A and B are shown apart, each in its own frame.
Chain A
Amino acid sequence: MFGDYSISDLGAILAMQGFAGLILFSVYVLMALGLAIIFGQMGVINMAHGEFMILGAYVTWMTSNAVQHTAPWLFPGYFFIAMILAFIASGALGMLVEWALIRHLYKRPLDTLLATWGLSLILQQAYRSIFGAREVGVELPEWMMGSWQATDSIQIPINGMFVMGLTILITIVVFYILFWSSWGKQVRAVVQNRVMAGAVGINTEKVDRYTFGLGCGIAGIAGSAFTMIGSTGPTAGQLYIVDTFLVVVFGGAASLFGTIASAFSISQTQSTLEFFLSGSMAKVITLLTIVAILMVRPQGLFALKVRK
């Protein structure tokens, strides 16, 4: 297949393909992080994760429109404001949902599956009623579009690099919050032993609410960032949900390291196979490999060691 191409051509493609893999990796991490926090720390399977992402996307769209109408000079930088607003909106909705719905179901994990799935349908129809059934186009500032010309033949998508940078930043922040802050210690204490954590004076209800809010908020940021690479419509969240669960489950439900490792391996497999085979075949082989590995290792790549 490569006989007809020059070495420099192949080198350039190899470099760009490497970046394509890394971009896919960042996208996977970004979409899975919020779910991993909620699933890993609270044991709640949040089927409405995609809809929280799309809320972030709609917030971005609204911010874009508002900025264009009221303060056009702000437009080049509006995306940062939009991401913060997306975090707040999705996080607030997440906390509301936790208060109204999820907290009553903590002892019935399978029911949370059903309840959040229902929630996702409700949210989809709500978006459709509020924003219309058609997709909306989010306008981006000029500097975020197009590609960066590294050499004559190597072009790297700017939005891809933006997603990468964002993913690194958010991952660092999440790790800081969960592993170094005192609130993170409380979260981990609740995960390990809810009763004891309560007994030493941790307000477990509050910890739950904020954890859920944090996970949904990160989903909101992810949704906001994905307006650069994907579509914004009432059901667009469904496009991400399968991959998201795949990454989280394959990584080992309770481990953030596992999520990152699994995002890395899935994205590299996927993008390499896509290059040598076709899109659909790449997906099939990736899924088969994951199924095979999970059969041998049902707990996923990394399993948190807890006393059962």
Chain B
Amino acid sequence: MSDETKPGLKSPLRRKLLMGMAALPAVSMLGRPAFADVPATSAVNTTGLAVTDSEVTVGILHSVTGTMAISETGSVEAEKLAIEQINAAGGVLGRKIKFIQEDGASDWPTFAEKAKKLLVNDKCAAVMGCWTSASRKAVLPVFEQYNGMLYYPTFYEGLEQSKNVIYTGQEATQQIIAGLDWVNKTKGAKSFYLLGSDYIWPRTSNKIARKHIENHLQGCKVVGEEYFPLGSTQFNSVINKIKLTKPDVIYAIIVGGSNVAFYKQLKAAGIDLSKQALLTISVTEDEIDGIGGENIAGAYACMKYFQSLDNPNNKAFVPAFKKMWGEKTVIGDVTQAAYLGPWLWKLTVEKAQSFDIDKIAAASPGVEFKGAPEGYVRIHENHHLWSKTRVGRAKADGQYELIYETADLVEPDPFPKGYQ
């Protein structure tokens, strides 16, 4: 219930409120459906979330300071855009979305603390947030204990599923398998060199990639697998090893500042990506901005979204994003996935006709979002998204050109059998 209905309210306001309440049946009798559509707060919010007759509060929890700010800035921008658009279209169950933004500061305990604040103090009806797996793992117990709802945008390693999280990015198999099949089939690739930054996501992803290459692709083999500490800036030795082993495909999952160093040095070492196939799952348009398009042109990336996608949804989304955040901003895969969060939440709330977390969790499977910039998406029983896998080729202007997309939506499989 909203504060304004508490007893002991000052009389003029109270009188206005009573007048308003008295007017409600009259209004609905006049046949104005806009008002009649707004269900009573007591009916849609039985667990004391921050929902009033006119407003609902959600949280945004990303790092805007610290090392992760590089990556998470795009997600914050996309979520704010989505919220603004939803409000312009009438809000959620007739209520405008108000957001409270907290800064995780690239520090995992801070994420947990802020998550608790958003759930316990602010009673947020949903939280859009986190980027790294480490931050998600840090907030997960908080969301489960206080029964909150998290919309998590990043493609990640899988091996997780929670009632309190909707994963709007791809889990590992969605991003890896279709891409490997494609490069094997169309490029005739037989030998792969796996590279990665040394932490859970690249290691788990490469494990899945290796199993797939060795067990499912005929006559294919891995000729090298290597990891570098986060922040490594020197890749000349491994580039020489690549030159020696001459793999058909370099499969690279390098992140952060290392990414920039790797591609610059690859180019400087004379490896021509128009001849040497390189497939990555860690370079979106956002990263190319830092790497420089001329240094990575020709590389293939396996994602579910590219800014250059040619569909009506995306053609509306890209200009709206640029109008809000500037002509020069680029939109990567995760930014688009973050944009899905508020929309999926809105659709789920409307399906459930309730803001209650338990009802949303139960209503989520089967929710479809036809207006997604990546095209149609649907939430699976396991709280991940059915979505297409796409391969794009980097161009010198920093955009990807779509080369291939799966015919059907790919089923999310966070606990893939035979890949662990």
A and B together in one complex = yes
A interface with B by C-beta (< 8 Å): 5, 9-10, 13, 16-17, 19-20, 23-24, 27, 125, 128, 132-140, 145-147, 149, 155, 157-160, 226, 228-236, 238-240, 270-271, 274-275, 278-280, 282-283
The answer to whether A16 and B240 have CB atoms under 8 Å apart is yes
The answer to whether B257 and A239 have CB atoms under 8 Å apart is yes
Q: Distance in Å from the Cβ of A19 to the closest Cβ of chain B?
A: 8
A270 and B232 CA atoms in complex are apart in Å by: 12
By secondary structure, the B interface counts as helix
A278 and B202 CA atoms in complex are apart in Å by: 15
User: Given the interface contacts A125-B65, A229-B268, does A134 sit within 8 Å of B244 by beta carbon?
Assistant: no
The answer to whether A275 and B198 have CB atoms under 8 Å apart is no
Q: Distance in Å from the Cβ of B209 to the closest Cβ of chain A?
A: 16
The answer to whether B257 and A157 have CB atoms under 8 Å apart is no
The answer to whether A155 and B269 have CB atoms under 8 Å apart is yes
The answer to whether B70 and A135 have CB atoms under 8 Å apart is yes
The answer to whether B198 and A228 have CB atoms under 8 Å apart is no
Q: Mark B382-394, 1 if CB is under 8 A from A, else 0.
A: 0000000000000
Q: Distance in Å from the Cβ of A64 to the closest Cβ of chain B?
A: 11
The answer to whether B237 and A234 have CB atoms under 8 Å apart is no
User: Given the interface contacts A133-B69, A229-B261, A231-B261, does A278 sit within 8 Å of B227 by beta carbon?
Assistant: yes
The answer to whether A128 and B69 have CB atoms under 8 Å apart is yes
Chain A residues with CB under 8 A of B64: 133
In order of increasing CB-CB distance, the 4 nearest A-B pairs are A135-B290, A231-B260, A155-B270, A147-B270
Chain B residues with CB under 8 A of A157: 236, 265, 268-270
A133 and B240 CA atoms in complex are apart in Å by: 33
Q: Mark B115-136, 1 if CB is under 8 A from A, else 0.
A: 0000000000000000000000
The answer to whether A20 and B240 have CB atoms under 8 Å apart is yes
User: Given the interface contacts A9-B244, A13-B244, does A275 sit within 8 Å of B292 by beta carbon?
Assistant: no
The answer to whether A236 and B257 have CB atoms under 8 Å apart is yes
The answer to whether B233 and A239 have CB atoms under 8 Å apart is yes
The answer to whether B243 and A279 have CB atoms under 8 Å apart is no
Q: Distance in Å from the Cβ of B327 to the closest Cβ of chain A?
A: 14
Nearest A residue to B235 via CB reads A279
Q: Distance in Å from the Cβ of A157 to the closest Cβ of chain B?
A: 4
A63 and B171 CA atoms in complex are apart in Å by: 41
The answer to whether A271 and B237 have CB atoms under 8 Å apart is yes
Q: Distance in Å from the Cβ of A220 to the closest Cβ of chain B?
A: 18
Chain B residues with CB under 8 A of A232: 260, 290
* Residue B73 interfacial (CB < 8 Å): yes
Chain B residues with CB under 8 A of A132: 73
Q: Give the number of A-B contacts (CB < 8 Å).
A: 143
Nearest B residue to A147 via CB reads B270
What is the interface size of chain B, counting residues whose CB is below 8 A from a CB of the partner? 47
* Residue B289 interfacial (CB < 8 Å): yes
Show 12 residue pairs from A and B whose CB-CB distance is below 8 angstroms, ordered by the A residue: A13-B243, A16-B240, A17-B240, A20-B240, A133-B69, A135-B257, A228-B268, A231-B260, A233-B257, A279-B229, A279-B232, A280-B228
Q: Distance in Å from the Cβ of B347 to the closest Cβ of chain A?
A: 30
A262 and B336 CA atoms in complex are apart in Å by: 47
Pick the residue among B73, B226, B244, B257 that contacts A231 (CB under 8 A). B257
A234 and B290 CA atoms in complex are apart in Å by: 12
The answer to whether B67 and A229 have CB atoms under 8 Å apart is no
The answer to whether B226 and A278 have CB atoms under 8 Å apart is yes
User: Given the interface contacts A20-B236, A155-B269, does A279 sit within 8 Å of B257 by beta carbon?
Assistant: no
Q: Distance in Å from the Cβ of A302 to the closest Cβ of chain B?
A: 24
Chain A residues with CB under 8 A of B73: 132-134
The answer to whether A230 and B290 have CB atoms under 8 Å apart is no
* Residue B286 interfacial (CB < 8 Å): yes
Q: Distance in Å from the Cβ of B265 to the closest Cβ of chain A?
A: 6
Chain A residues with CB under 8 A of B291: 137, 231
Interface residues of B in 245-278 (CB under 8 A from A): 256-261, 264-265, 267-270
Chain A residues with CB under 8 A of B265: 157, 229
Q: Distance in Å from the Cβ of B252 to the closest Cβ of chain A?
A: 13
The answer to whether B240 and A13 have CB atoms under 8 Å apart is yes
The answer to whether B234 and A24 have CB atoms under 8 Å apart is yes
* Residue B319 interfacial (CB < 8 Å): no
The answer to whether B69 and A146 have CB atoms under 8 Å apart is no
* Residue B294 interfacial (CB < 8 Å): yes
The answer to whether B238 and A274 have CB atoms under 8 Å apart is yes
Pick the residue among A9, A16, A125, A230 that contacts B261 (CB under 8 A). A230
Extra inter-chain contacts (19) besides given A134-B70, A229-B264, A234-B70, CB under 8 Å: A13-B243, A20-B240, A128-B69, A134-B289, A137-B290, A137-B291, A137-B292, A137-B293, A138-B292, A230-B257, A231-B256, A232-B260, A235-B257, A274-B238, A275-B240, A278-B225, A279-B238, A280-B198, A280-B227
The answer to whether B257 and A146 have CB atoms under 8 Å apart is no
The answer to whether B243 and A16 have CB atoms under 8 Å apart is yes
A270 and B229 CA atoms in complex are apart in Å by: 13
A16 and B244 CA atoms in complex are apart in Å by: 11
A236 and B288 CA atoms in complex are apart in Å by: 16
A71 and B417 CA atoms in complex are apart in Å by: 59
Chain B residues with CB under 8 A of A128: 65, 69
Chain A residues with CB under 8 A of B267: 145-146
User: Given the interface contacts A128-B69, A133-B70, does A231 sit within 8 Å of B290 by beta carbon?
Assistant: yes
The answer to whether B236 and A235 have CB atoms under 8 Å apart is no
Nearest A residue to B241 via CB reads A275
A75 and B227 CA atoms in complex are apart in Å by: 37
A167 and B65 CA atoms in complex are apart in Å by: 34
Chain B residues with CB under 8 A of A160: 236, 268
